[in-house]
Structure 1
Amino acid sequence: MRARTIFGVLRLTAAGVCLTALVHRLFWGLSSHTTAGDNFFAYLTVQSNCTLVVVLIIGAVLALSRPTDPRWFSVALALVLTWTITAGIAFALIVWQAGIRGIRVDVPWSDQVLHFFLPTCTALAWILTPGHRGVSWWIVPTSLAFPLAWGGVTLWRGPFVGWYPYYFLDPRQVSGPAEFLITCAAALAMFALIATLIVLASRMHRPGHPRAAI
């Protein structure tokens, strides 16, 4: 139970760090006086990390009050981690590609926390947390529901506001339908791969951890 208490405190700390980074990133974006700053909540990273804050707070309460996490919480956490970790990897690739093209991309400390630090720490916690339940393989296709819905809304909204959160969704910045479809397919494949790794990690038997049984 002592280990659960420690992880409860860590979950609460991570939620606080995530919330602080989100607030900083919001005001940093607004200070730029650009369309991107005004559309802060349109980013998949922001939406998934807002959800992560809520899930981590719930997880902290569960870790401080129960010897094991309920199955529904493990499922919720697996989905949210899939989205935040994938968003972090995608952001790293975008920054890398921008550097190759000679395009400047400012990365404030809050972006580094949201895209790199927190995904790494939460991934490690997913593996190490005591009293953690395994999750089923249906998490993999289910994890695609949010990015698909987000993408649909983004493509519908983009022409009205004249802005897209990621360049590969903007028809003006891709060479044509082929590049758009290939890039989107690669993004969905990345979500599926991360979800697969999360399921595999949860189903690895560790002493004192319940086996997957969904």
Structure 2
Amino acid sequence: MIRVIVISARLAALVTTGWALISRADCVFATQTCRATNLLSYFTIQSNIAFALLTTLLIIRAILRVRERAWLTTLRVIITSYLIISGVTFAILMETAGLSDLPFLVPLSSRILHFVVPAYAIIDFLFLPGRLRLPLRVSLWTLVYPFAYAILTVVRGQALNWYPYVFFDPEWVGSYAGVVAYAALLAGALVAVAGVLTLASRLPVFVRS
């Protein structure tokens, strides 16, 4: 019975994430107000795609009754950390832009990708069965992809004069040193979040399969 509930919850999360991603892409296919390559450049979009793929894998393994391995728990920590940081960063950017009191200006799909999916990912990690105890050093693995992402984003942004996030734009932050400073701040926050999740992996699972 518990296994059915877990699979159902993850299916619901997968469908919701899929809908939000497709809806968010309406600027490419419907209104044609953005480029597909630019949309895919957002870390939030990439993180949610990764979450959808991870959730699909978790569902398949649950159906087949395959036990979770350490590498999969590590992947859950990494992707959940990305989702959390994306959500927090988006909230800060909204506050900076003065939109925090005007949530209706943010499309529902965007709110789901930035807030609902991260919240579900945290619940899934903490309360659903499967995860294993991880060493704290696992949190450092979260930096591998963002490091490559930051470099490619700056290089691409310089070539196209377009950046998915203003803190990657050296003109907006004042210099490339400013870009590095913002990147270092985000890296520190990312490792901190991953560290908390890694420590949480040692807590008892509240739902047993």
SS state at 2:170 partner: coil
SS state at 1:203 partner: coil
Instruction: Give per-residue Cα distances to partners, 1:147-200, cap 9 Å, x unaligned.
Output: 111001001111111100000111121133443332211111111111011101
Instruction: Give per-residue Cα distances to partners, 1:79-137, cap 9 Å, x unaligned.
Output: 1111111111111111111118xxx9942111100000110111011100123222222
Moved over 4 A (4+): 206-209
Instruction: Assess if the C-alpha contact under 8 Å between 1:40 and 1:46 holds in 2.
Output: yes
Counterpart of 1:10 in structure 2 is: 9
1:174 maps to amino acid: V
TM superposition shift of 1:70: 2.6
Counterpart of 1:110 in structure 2 is: 109
Instruction: Assess if the C-alpha contact under 8 Å between 1:174 and 1:180 holds in 2.
Output: yes
Mapped partners of 2:191, 2:104: distance in 1:
27
Q: TM (normalized to structure 1)?
A: 0.86
SS state at 1:173 partner: helix
| Aligned residue-pair number | 204
Mapped partners of 2:83, 2:68: distance in 1:
20
Instruction: Give per-residue Cα distances to partners, 1:2-28, cap 9 Å, x unaligned.
Output: 222211221122111111101111113
Q: TM (normalized to structure 2)?
A: 0.88
Instruction: Assess if the C-alpha contact under 8 Å between 1:4 and 1:129 holds in 2.
Output: no
CA RMSD of aligned residues (A): 2.3
Counterpart of 1:74 in structure 2 is: 73
Instruction: Assess if the C-alpha contact under 8 Å between 2:27 and 2:33 holds in 1.
Output: no
Matched, 1:190 2:189: yes
Counterpart of 1:28 in structure 2 is: 27
- Structure 2 residues without counterparts, runs of 5 or longer: none
Mapped partners of 1:112, 1:17: distance in 2:
12
2:171 maps to amino acid: R
SS state at 1:99 partner: coil
Instruction: Assess if the C-alpha contact under 8 Å between 1:3 and 1:130 holds in 2.
Output: no
Mapped partners of 2:104, 2:8: distance in 1:
34
Mapped partners of 2:119, 2:146: distance in 1:
20
Instruction: Assess if the C-alpha contact under 8 Å between 2:126 and 2:205 holds in 1.
Output: no
Q: How does 1:1-214 map to 2 (within 5 A)?
A: 2-28=1-27, 31=31, 33-34=33-34, 39-66=38-65, 68-99=67-98, 106-206=105-205
Q: Identity percentage over the alignment?
A: 26
TM superposition shift of 1:56: 0.1
The change in CA–CA distance for 1:207 and 1:175 in structure 2 (over 3 A counts) is closer
Mapped partners of 2:71, 2:171: distance in 1:
42
Instruction: Assess if the C-alpha contact under 8 Å between 2:6 and 2:128 holds in 1.
Output: yes
Instruction: Give per-residue Cα distances to partners, 1:37-78, cap 9 Å, x unaligned.
Output: 761001111111111111101101112332742322212211
Mapped partners of 1:184, 1:207: distance in 2:
36
